[in-house]
């Protein structure tokens, strides 16, 4: 499948915006996966190629947060393992799934996520007490979100962030940093499965990776300074726009 330079440039620009959004509140896949579908990529290849470019963005953001001492991989090895197992199962499951059903369900999934983000007024506010200890949290939320990311992906960072805020009583900045560590784990593990199954469009994925690195670096720095309200409303608008476009298509 051949792609023009102009189309690759547009997809790379989309990845810049997605990397920026992903580093702050998650949801960058809400931009990149529909963009890949619009470019004529099949649903499973779109998810696989999205993992390639997303790895660069999530690694860049995670590295920044580690350097800021907001998260430590060595302290969360069991969470990383739980996320990895979930991602492996999800990446295998999507390849057994009828892709026509996935593309039909996508616009409705985007609308539901947009509605949730729009009305979640306390989005990002931490609970006063942790509702689950780390072991139970890893076994339930981390593994389940890991499966979702391997299977589909858009909004994974948002779900990780919300879970850390509400279940582990972290503030928004801490939750975002931990979310990026887990999201990088699920991205890289899912990517390995998709490489083995030969589902990745390398030319497209690497072109978008350049944009992801730039967007993620800017977004990670912005996350520490600005918070998520602006990004949340931007994501809502994008979800709705993409949903309408997919339904019309």
- Tell me the C-alpha distance between 153 and 177, whole Å: 18
Task: Kindly state the DSSP code that residue 138 receives in the 8-state scheme.
Answer: I
Q: What is the pLDDT of residue 178?
A: 95
Tens-digit pLDDT profile for residues 154-184:
778 878 988 898 899 888 788 889 999 999 9
How confident is the model at residue 124, as a pLDDT?
A: 57
- In a domain, residue 109? The reply is yes
Whether 78 is in a domain gets the answer no
Query: What proportion of the chain, given as a percentage, has pLDDT over 70?
Result: 88
- Of 226, 65, 73, 228, the closest CA to residue 162 belongs to 228
Lowest mean pLDDT among 12-16, 31-35, 44-48, 127-131: 127-131
Query: Considering the domain boundaries, does residue 82 fall inside one?
Result: no
Mean pLDDT of 127-134: 84
The answer to whether residue 111 sits within a structural domain is: yes
| Cβ neighbours for 74, distance < 8 A, ≥ 6 positions apart | none
Predicted confidence at residue 103, as pLDDT, reads 67
Residue 185 near residue 84 (C-beta atoms within 8 A): yes
Whether the full predicted model's pTM is greater than 0.85, yes or no, is no
Cα–Cα dist 168/148, whole Å: 20
Confidence of residue 243 (pLDDT cuts 50, 70, 90): confident
Please write the tens of the pLDDT for every residue from 59-117: 998 999 999 999 999 999 999 999 999 999 998 998 887 766 766 777 787 788 778 77
- Domain assignment of residue 190, yes or no: yes
Among the listed residues 157, 152, 29, 169, the one whose alpha carbon sits nearest the alpha carbon of residue 99: 152
Mean pLDDT of 22-39: 83
| 136: pLDDT strictly greater than 90 | yes
Mean pLDDT of 25-48: 86
Looking at the structure of the chain, the number of domains it has is: 1
**What is residue 222's predicted lDDT score, i.e. its pLDDT?**
82
For residues 55 and 50, what is the distance between their CA atoms, to the nearest angstrom? Answer: 9
- The verdict on residue 202 lying in a domain is yes
pLDDT at site 105: 77
Residue 80 domain-assigned (yes or no): no
For 181-231, how does the pLDDT look when each residue is reduced to its tens digit (9 = 90+)?
Answer: 999 999 999 999 999 989 999 999 999 999 999 999 898 888 777 665 666
Domain range for 198: 5-71+90-248
Pairwise pLDDT comparison (121 vs 11), residue with the higher score: 11
Mean pLDDT score of the chain, rounded to an integer? Answer: 85
**Averaged pLDDT for residues 16-31:** 82
Q: pLDDT higher for 18 or 1? A: 18
Residue 235 located in a structural domain: yes
Q: DSSP secondary-structure letter at 127?
A: P
């Amino acid at each position: 499948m051949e792609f023009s330079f102009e189309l690759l440039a547009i997809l790379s620009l989309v990845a810049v915006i997605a990397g920026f959004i992903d580093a702050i509140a998650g949801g960058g896949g809400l931009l990149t996966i529909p963009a890949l579908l619009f470019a004529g990529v099949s649903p499973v290849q779109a998810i696989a190629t999205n993992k390639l470019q997303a790895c660069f963005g999530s690694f860049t953001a995670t590295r920044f947060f580690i350097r800021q001492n907001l998260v430590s991989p060595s302290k969360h090895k069991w969470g990383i393992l739980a996320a990895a197992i979930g991602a492996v199962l999800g990446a295998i499951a999507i390849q057994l799934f009828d892709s026509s059903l996935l593309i039909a369900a996508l616009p409705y999934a985007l609308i539901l996520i947009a509605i949730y983000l729009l009305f979640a007024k306390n989005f990002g506010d931490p609970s006063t007490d942790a509702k689950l200890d780390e072991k139970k949290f890893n076994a339930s939320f981390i593994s389940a979100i890991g499966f979702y990311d391997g299977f589909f992906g858009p909004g994974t960072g948002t779900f990780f962030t919300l879970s850390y805020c509400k279940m582990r009583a972290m503030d928004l900045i801490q939750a975002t940093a931990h979310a990026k560590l887990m999201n990088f784990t699920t991205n890289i593990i899912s990517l390995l499965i998709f490489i083995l199954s030969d589902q990745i469009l390398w030319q497209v994925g690497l072109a978008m990776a350049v944009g992801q690195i730039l967007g993620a670096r800017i977004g990670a720095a912005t996350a520490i300074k600005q918070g998520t309200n602006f990004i949340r409303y931007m994501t809502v608008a994008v979800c709705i726009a993409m949903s309408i476009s997919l339904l019309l298509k």
